[in-house]
Amino acid sequence: MSARTTHLDKGVGTAMSALSAAAKKGLGDPVLAELVMIRASQLNACAFCLDMHVDIAVRNGETAKRIALLNAWAEAGEVFSERERAALTLTEAVTVLTDGFVPDEAYEVAAKHFDEAELAHLIGVITVINSWNRLMVSRRIEPGGYAP
């Protein structure tokens, strides 16, 4: 697969970055935000975003073990808290809309662990990373171009 040179409009990039920052800030848990972004990027096979968000997660104190187990979080036992598991369940439901809707159960489990504002911001984090994934994957942007 070769890199494409499709230009990303500066206004779009600025708006997406602002949305991402607002959603992450509102969620109030930078490590959880990065776990969500990594998991969605795994599902979307976005190497650029995986590279970037793994780096950010590590800089925020996340461990290599938990990052390595993220792809199998549902089978990882108590490696991830109930709150993290609820966020990851919702992440997968929003990212993979195979039935056209987020299952009520996924939303209800998340609503038990996040207040209304946190849940709105969590959905914002999930939505923006899925948008970034689609922008990067469609343009074939390879990992390594991220500079903190």
What does the pLDDT read at residue 7?
66
User: Is 26 part of a structural domain of the chain?
Assistant: yes
User: Is 96 part of a structural domain of the chain?
Assistant: yes
User: Is 17 part of a structural domain of the chain?
Assistant: yes
* Cα dihedral 135/141/145/148 (nearest 10): 20
- Encode pLDDT of 36-75 as tens digits: 999 999 999 999 999 999 999 999 999 999 999 999 999 9
User: Is 27 part of a structural domain of the chain?
Assistant: yes
Our count of domains for the chain comes to 1
User: Is 43 part of a structural domain of the chain?
Assistant: yes
Domain CATH number, residue 76: 1.20.1290.10
What does the pLDDT read at residue 99?
74
In angstroms, rounded to a whole number, what is the distance separating the alpha carbons of residues 80 and 86?
Answer: 10
What does the pLDDT read at residue 76?
96
Convert 107-133 to b/e letters by CB count within 10 Å (16 or more is b). Answer: bebbeebbeeebbebbbbbbbbbbebb
User: Is 2 part of a structural domain of the chain?
Assistant: no
Q: Calculate what percentage of the chain has a pLDDT beyond 70.
A: 95
- Encode pLDDT of 82-114 as tens digits: 999 999 999 999 999 887 899 999 999 999 999
Give the global pTM.
Answer: 0.92
User: Is 56 part of a structural domain of the chain?
Assistant: yes
In angstroms, rounded to a whole number, what is the distance separating the alpha carbons of residues 104 and 18?
Answer: 29
- Three-state secondary structure call for residue 103: coil
Domain around 31: 10-138
